[in-house]
Structure 1
Amino acid sequence: MKKWLFILLAFTACKKENTGTNTTSKYISTVFEYKPAPGQFVNTSIGDSAAAQKLVGSTENVLTLGAFGGYVVFGFDHGVSKFGIYSNTIESLSEPGIVMVSQDVNGNGLPDDAWYTIAGDQYTNAVKNYKITYYNPGGYADVKWKDNQGDSGTVSINVYHTQVYYPSFISARDSMSFTGMKLPATLKDSAGLYINTGFAYGYADNWTSDYGTSGYNSFDIADAVDDNGNKVTLSSVSFVKVYTGQNSKGNATIGEISTEIRGAIDLKM
């Protein structure tokens, strides 16, 4: 009896493996929302709604998030606990993005439950509850902004990208606001060479030895914290949000600091 049971179980397992019905993907399965802040690549082939959808099932297509606060929300078709985010960072020019995660607590398949921040090495140094508002200039012109710290400035146009920098495909036509953590600025002029050094860990589009080896930044949900900075225990998450974490004007050569990503992968598959 046990022999026949073993044969039946083995046959069933082989049958399931060969049917191709297991559709679980290690890559992004859905992009739920894309809302970039103004930037030099917004309204281009790597900064529109179509570009956002190209993150699904791939790690080869670049998506810009624009200046501080601009974000994308995506999901996996299963729970993940460790994942990697691909980008286009290089050793001298990181554009760190803050990563948040969420569980599907209510089971509706939508990212509408509580969000938690992956606490990178700059968590204690970041400005919490930072809010910035960008104002639509109505054309190819500097985009003015004001924040809740009493500061103001612009996302400045440059001669290399001459399209409108304020996203033309969002509903907020006059102004748009973002709230999050603002990371310390790191842009430096080193003998005429502008560099933006990466942080030690915990951010997307951030040059580290980890990224140099694997081509992605890795994240563990064990590093997640709530809005008060308290560690939380999560068995797995279904949704990820990435947003540009620095408010840096950059300069006429490199433009503003804006996080870019190329996809994500479940590191346990």
Structure 2
Amino acid sequence: MRKWLFIILGLAACKKDNTNPADNSSKYISTVFEYKPAPGQFVNTSIGDGAAAQQLIGSTENVLTLGAFGGYVVFGFDHGVSKFGIYSNTIESLSEPGVVMVSRDVNGNGKPDDAWYTINGDQYSSAIKNYKITYYNPGGYADVKWKDNQGDSGTVAINTYHTQAYYPSFITAQDSVSFTGIKLPATLKDSSGVYINAGFAFGYADNWTSDYKTNGYNSFDIADAVDDNGNKVTLSSINFVKVYTGQNSKGNGTIGEISTEIRGAIDLNM
């Protein structure tokens, strides 16, 4: 969805779990491990490419788009974290909720290759689990077709505001790309010609709440993490975070698709 903010980032290495940060630890993102957006109107632009993703490091001032449903970014802190905030560019009438997942560096190799857990937001019980969507590259500036595992199909529609290709040109999968996750309920409504995408109560990034209104970020506690079966898990700290667009909504020709954007993250205990 169209929001007019931009991003800057750097480069660092995520260290193994350390619940007692060193004096030189950063409270911000230290490493961006992977950026794989779904198609969207800001993909392949200055806020939707690999360089833009790296600009999340050490900053909360720059926007990164994740594209349509499933598009994601994986980042890490240089120490163990239990409570954190994710900055975005949401506004009161246009939330673009992103699902948040966390992982602990159990094997100590500094890579996000251990088990992942989902933050249990208020829509978790009503979300479609194991939702899979596949996008097909049209080969240029054209609507991007998709099909899902629920028997539905549609497009990520182009608009006249952004005329580059919407399918990410910098990912390996150039014929088609698939994403799997939980799909949150759609909330886009036309209110007398004004489109509104209301926020959820809690548990999502790029989501307008009283928490966001007060602090400028959505806050998360790893005590709210659940496994793939929805069972609560106990984590002393986490090192890695994944955020992906949680709604599959075409939007319209003016606002474009619903696409989560973030501006960085912060350890709320530092």
- Give the TM-score normalised by the residue count of structure 2: 0.92
Equivalent AA in structure 2 for residue 260 of structure 1? E
Q: Which position in structure 1 is the counterpart of 2:23? A: 22
2 CA distance for matches of 1:159 and 1:143? 15
1:235 CA drift (Å): 0.2
Output aligned runs, 1:50-129, within 5 Å. Answer: 50-129=51-130
Deviation at 1:94, TM superposition (A): 0.1
In 1, Cα distance between equivalents of 2:169 and 2:24: 35
Equivalents in 2 of 1:196, 1:234: separation in Å?
Answer: 33
Q: How many pairs were matched up?
A: 249
- CA distance in structure 1 between the partners assigned to 2:195 and 2:36 by the alignment: 28
Q: Which residue of 2 aligns with 1:4?
A: none
1:35 paired with 2:36, answer yes
Tell me the residue number matched to 1:8. none
Describe the superposition over 1:155-184 as per-residue Cα deviations: whole angstroms up to 9, x where unpaired.
Answer: 000000000000000010100000000000
Pairwise CA distance, 1:23? 1.8
Match of 2:243 in 1: 242
Amino acid at match of 1:220: D
1:112 is displaced (CA, Å) by 0.1
Does residue 205 (structure 1) correspond to residue 217 (structure 2)? The answer is no
Q: In the aligned structure 1, how far is the partner of 2:151 from the partner of 2:160?
A: 29
1:101 match: secondary structure: strand
Residue in 1 that maps onto 2:215: 214
Residue aligning to 1:15: none
Q: Percent identity?
A: 88
CA deviations over 1:2-60 (Å, ceiling 9, x no partner) = xxxxxxxxxxxxxxxxxxx8320000000000000000000000000000000000000
**Runs of at least 4 residues off by over 6 Å:** none
Question: What CA distance in whole angstroms lies between the structure 2 residues aligned with 1:253 and 1:173?
Answer: 27
Partners in 2 of 1:170 and 1:45 — Cα distance?
Answer: 16
1:168 aligns with 2:130: no
Partner of residue 137, structure 1: 138
- Output the amino acid matched with 1:111: P
SS of the residue aligned with 1:124? helix
The CA RMSD measured in Å over matched residues stands at 0.6
Q: Distance between the aligned counterparts of 2:192 and 2:157, measured in 1?
A: 23
Aligned to 1:159: 160
